[in-house]
Amino acid sequence: MTSESPGTGERILSIDVVRGMAVLGILLMNIVAMGLPTYAYLNPVYGGGTTGADFWTWAVNNVLADGKMRALFTMLFGASMVLIASRAEAGSGLGPVQTHYRRLFWMFVIGMIHAYFFFLGDILVTYALAGALIFPLRKLSPRLLVALGAGVLAALFAWHLYDVGQARALMAAATAPGASEALRAAWAEASQTYVMPPGFADQEIALFRGDFMDALEARARIASLLQVLIPFDAGPEAVGQMLLGMGLFRLGFFSLGWSTRAYLAVMVLGYAAAVPFTASMTWLIHQSGFEPVRLHELEVWQSITRPFIALAHASVLLLIVRAGLFRSLVSRLEAAGRMAFTNYLMTSVITSLVFCGYGLGLYGHLSRAEQLWVVAGVWALILLWSRPWLARFRYGPLEWIWRSLVQWKRQPFRK
């Protein structure tokens, strides 16, 4: 989650700025899983509201943020693997393999703590596992890396499409007149992927509004389930996006190596083609009345557009950096990106105190639109504190701890 040029240790401004935007943007979606019953993340019918401002909050996020900011964050993690390995090869300390796998080991440990004690939707464990798998591929040609990443995402899309087809067939058979008890039981079990079981939300709300151990119990149930599913869903998606990030970084995309015309072309592809397609899927979800299986099917289709919209967002920011516009905001985004590890984890600590019973106890009380006030407050804190901190210290506090653990000795901290 750091960005340093090979062999020099100098920061690459554009990468830090884009990472800063991504770490802020991820909260737009994570906040739902932090403060509402788990199934509300999948379907707004199960929490947060589906009318008025709540509907538009869901719809805009579904088009512009859901999966897109995570995709961008993941691509940048892939780029960071190339950067840090290159620096390790040029240095005199730990080699690239030792550096990489030590980093991932400690990321896995921190991710497990994060998942069970602070936020059930942790992404660090997935990054550690996916990063361990693809690291040996980092020296393939950039275009081959992009092709492999696209291939992995295409295969995952095909699998999800097949899976939802199977679910539709099972639902039709189980709900047909005269369906056997075995078919009905099979659909009742399979439908839990899309349909919230009766009483589930009430149980979650009671636990998260309870004490620390109650919240830990609620988190553990979902976090453990999500981690079991990593090899089948989140893992392949992360692998595909990291491969894209590796290839695009080596092609110069994230370091302003492309022409302005090329970045504009990415923006046109993202905003003129991918956004309208995703918006049409969003409208069809609304027209279906948020029917769970139909919603899942349409979300599978709109997963195609995630990388394109993510890269369009990045292209806007990269052109702003190139043009030297909004320098104060860019400077604060850069600092937020340099401290992305700290800011990502700190966000979960803050929101756990806002929503859980051992803090303010607001779990389940705020609608989707009302949650945006919490998002705005956390964004303001990140943008306000990151730059002054880095004026005094070399790294964010958790970046420093992580680096010290990897090197197994205390690293310089104060400037």
Contact 201, 37 (CB under 8 A): yes
For the cut 80, the answer to whether the pLDDT of residue 101 exceeds it is: yes
Phi/psi at 53 (5° precision): -65, -30
Alpha carbons within 13 angstroms on the beta-carbon side of residue 219 total: 27
CA 152 from chain centre, in angstroms, equals 18
Domain-embedded: residue 4: no
Which has the higher per-residue pLDDT, 90 or 270?
Answer: 270
What b/e string do you get for 333-353 counting C-beta neighbours within 10 Å, with b at 16 or more? Answer: bbbbbbbbbbbbbbbbebbbe
Domain-embedded: residue 415: no
By percentage, how much of the chain surpasses pLDDT 70?
97
Domain-embedded: residue 366: yes
The tokens 């909050």 sit on which residue? 57
C-alpha distance across the termini of the chain, in Å: 20
Domain-embedded: residue 374: yes
pLDDT band, very low/low/confident/very high, at 386 (cuts 50, 70, 90): very high
For the cut 60, the answer to whether the pLDDT of residue 393 exceeds it is: yes
Category of 36 on φ-ψ map: left (φ > 0), alpha (ψ -120 to 50) or beta: beta
pLDDT band, very low/low/confident/very high, at 11 (cuts 50, 70, 90): confident
Phi/psi at 8 (5° precision): -110, -25
DSSP 415: -
Rounded to two decimals, the pTM is 0.94
Domain-embedded: residue 413: no
Domain-embedded: residue 338: yes
Total number of domains constituting the chain: 1
393: β partners: 414
Closest to 18 measured CA to CA, from 385, 328, 316: 316
What b/e string do you get for 77-96 counting C-beta neighbours within 10 Å, with b at 16 or more? Answer: bbbbbbbbbbbbeeeeeeeb
Domain-embedded: residue 321: yes
pLDDT band, very low/low/confident/very high, at 2 (cuts 50, 70, 90): very low
Q: What pLDDT does 10 receive?
A: 60
Q: What pLDDT does 4 receive?
A: 38
Q: How many residues does the chain have?
A: 415
CA 365 from chain centre, in angstroms, equals 24
Domain ranges, residue 368: 13-407
- CA of 335: how far to CAs of 133, 252, 342, in Å? 30, 21, 11
Which has the higher per-residue pLDDT, 240 or 94?
Answer: 240
Domain-embedded: residue 372: yes
Mean pLDDT of 44-51: 94
**Alpha helices, DSSP H, located in 36-67:** 39-42, 52-64
414: β partners: 393
Which has the higher per-residue pLDDT, 174 or 317?
Answer: 317
pLDDT band, very low/low/confident/very high, at 135 (cuts 50, 70, 90): very high
Contact 201, 33 (CB under 8 A): no
Sign of the C-alpha dihedral computed for residues 283, 234, 336 and 345 taken in this order: positive
- The C-alpha atoms of residue 347 and residue 26 are separated, in whole angstroms, by 10
The three-class DSSP label of residue 223 is: helix
Mean pLDDT of 215-238: 93
- The C-alpha atoms of residue 46 and residue 367 are separated, in whole angstroms, by 11
Q: What pLDDT does 92 receive?
A: 61
